[in-house]
């Protein structure tokens, strides 16, 4: 599938639903980041912007990117309306082709999974290299299929966190795996329905 197809698909996903007025942060972000001192953060695949806005409220300076211009524009507007325009920079990037410039204390990628071609290992390896010393890369993937997921393929297989980090091919002398597990939680879908889901959580820190 082409890049144009991917852009059109995700533009339609966001344009086809009402703009979120109070997007919530992901649970694995809040439980992981609360203990970290604020700095510069990069949110890969920002979606409705719940993570970026939450980080900004905690004192982080956030660069938030998404393939969908609709998502980026909506987030920029939400940040301005909440007085966070000086803490949130929203940019459109197709991570298959471009990656934001800069170095960061935190990079998060929540559910960066797509039906289109994306060399995730390269994207996540690039992210790891964009960390400052002492910085963290948080990757949270689906470990199960929620009833409201766009992907209802019964044969889909979700890579484990250890498989994800192995594919990234990071030097263990420079990067340390601090967490690699598969916790469960009760999630709420866009229509208010709930279901138990599994997250695949990977937390990597840069030591040198």
CATH class, range 3-206 = alpha beta
| pTM for the model | 0.92
**Residue 79: is its pLDDT beyond 80?**
yes
Average pLDDT of span 28-35: 94
Q: Where are the chain's structural domains? A: 3-206
pLDDT confidence of 4, banded at 50, 70, 90? Answer: low
pLDDT in tens, 143-191: 998 877 867 777 788 899 999 999 999 999 999 999 999 999 998 887 7
Report DSSP letters for 145-180, one per residue.
--TT-S---TT--PPPHHHHHHHHT--TTTEEEEEE
SS3 for 3-18 is HHHHHHHHHHHHHCCC
């Amino acid at each position: 599938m082409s890049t144009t197809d991917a852009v059109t698909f995700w533009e339609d996903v966001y344009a086809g639903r009402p703009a979120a007025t109070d997007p919530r942060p992901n649970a694995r972000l809040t439980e992981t980041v609360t203990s970290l001192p604020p700095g510069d953060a990069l949110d890969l695949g920002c979606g409705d912007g719940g993570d970026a806005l939450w980080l900004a409220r905690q004192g982080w300076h956030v660069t938030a990117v998404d393939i969908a211009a609709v998502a980026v524009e909506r987030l920029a507007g939400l940040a301005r309306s909440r007085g966070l325009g000086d803490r949130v920079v929203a940019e459109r990037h197709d991570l298959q082709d471009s990656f934001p410039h800069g170095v960061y204390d935190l990079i998060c990628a929540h559910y960066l999974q797509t039906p289109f071609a994306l060399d995730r290992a390269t994207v996540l390896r690039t992210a790891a290299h964009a960390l400052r010393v002492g910085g963290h890369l948080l990757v949270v993937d689906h470990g199960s299929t929620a009833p409201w997921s766009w992907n209802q393929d019964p044969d889909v297989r979700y890579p484990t966190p250890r498989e994800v980090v192995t594919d990234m091919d990071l030097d263990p002398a420079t990067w340390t795996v601090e967490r690699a597990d598969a916790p469960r939680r009760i999630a709420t879908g866009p229509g208010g329905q709930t279901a138990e889901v599994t997250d695949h959580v990977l937390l990597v820190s840069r030591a040198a």
